[in-house]
Structure 1
Amino acid sequence: MKDQASRHWRRLRERLRNQGDRDRGSGSVELAVLATVVLFLVFAAIQIGLYFHARSVARSAATQGVEAGRQLGSGPGDGVAQAEALLAKYGSVRGASVSADGSGAEQIRITVRGTVATLVPGLELDVVQSAEAPVERWVEAQ
């Protein structure tokens, strides 16, 4: 009985030793797969940051344009020029175009359109932000 138990333990040890040989190199494969996933997550986080930064810059440019164009004596052209100046300063929105479509005698609307810099070739993320406000004007006292 004692011989049988010792043979059983020897066989078990041998099996465990041989199993270690079959698993050689699996750590490298696991690391390669894990590194790919981690890199994807890092690039995704950077891309999301770039998108929200460009969106914020476009929104700020539209707001600055509206503030410049709504002042007494100014017009939509002044608002477009102010928005373009802010976009040129920051440069986060590529191929930016600014328009004052939808503006009238009592309301000014500035729209900024462009694309975001991307880490993935062929991926295009568009940004469209607009702002509007009433135009300042003098009103006769009654």
Structure 2
Amino acid sequence: MLIPRHDAPPGRRRPTRLAGRRPGRTTGDEEGSATVELVILMPVVFGLIFLGVQAGLVFHARQVALAAANQGVVAASVEEGTAEAGHAAADDFLGQVGGAVLRSWNVTATRDADRSAVTVQARPYAILADLVPEVSATAQMPTETVRGAP
């Protein structure tokens, strides 16, 4: 902290330092405290960053699984479609798009006279550990039927 000197001519006061204070010096008990603070704080900061990135990967994996389920249910629900066609369409989509986001996936497809459904269960890639939840997406659609005229 600087205080003005009073022995200078009026209008030209020169600041002086308080006695006993040197710039850039700390007391002996504070030396190295910044290093200790960084050692404690940086893992927490990096953990939060990795957690945010992992949450983004899980969200993206969920969107890919949902898109694959939609592709499969559209193929299964057409008039001449089958559950196997829905399974193949979802699996093909995941083979093209999911390999960059998903480690593994499982597709199940069902079709009856009224409704078609495709479910995709997948494991996204993990940044640090295998603590990533499995993502699952299901798409359902009415099965197309052509009825004769009454």
Return the TM-score normalized by structure 1: 0.81
- Tell me, yes or no, if structure 1 residue 105 matches structure 2 residue 121: no
In the other structure, the counterpart of 1:4 is none
User: Over aligned residues, Cα RMSD in angstroms?
Assistant: 2.0
Distance 1:69 1:132 in 2: 10
* Structure that is richer in helix per residue: 1
1:109-130 per-position Cα deviation (integer Å, ceiling 9, x unaligned):
1010121211222324211111
Distance 1:41 1:121 in 2: 14
Distance 1:119 1:96 in 2: 18
Point out the more displaced range, 110-119 or 41-50: 110-119
How many angstroms does 1:93 deviate by?
2.4
Query: Which segments of 5 or more consecutive residues in structure 1 lack a partner in the other structure?
Result: 1-11
In the other structure, the counterpart of 1:129 is 137
In the other structure, the counterpart of 2:30 is 23
How many angstroms does 1:31 deviate by?
1.8
**1:79-118 to 2 correspondences below 5 Å:** 79-90=86-97, 91=99, 92-101=101-110, 103-118=111-126
Query: Which segments of 5 or more consecutive residues in structure 2 lack a partner in the other structure?
Result: 1-18
The residue type paired with residue 36 of structure 1 is P
Could you tell me the percent identity over the aligned residues?
Answer: 33
How many residues align structurally?
A: 128
The residue type paired with residue 83 of structure 2 is P
In the other structure, the counterpart of 1:5 is none
Return the TM-score normalized by structure 2: 0.77
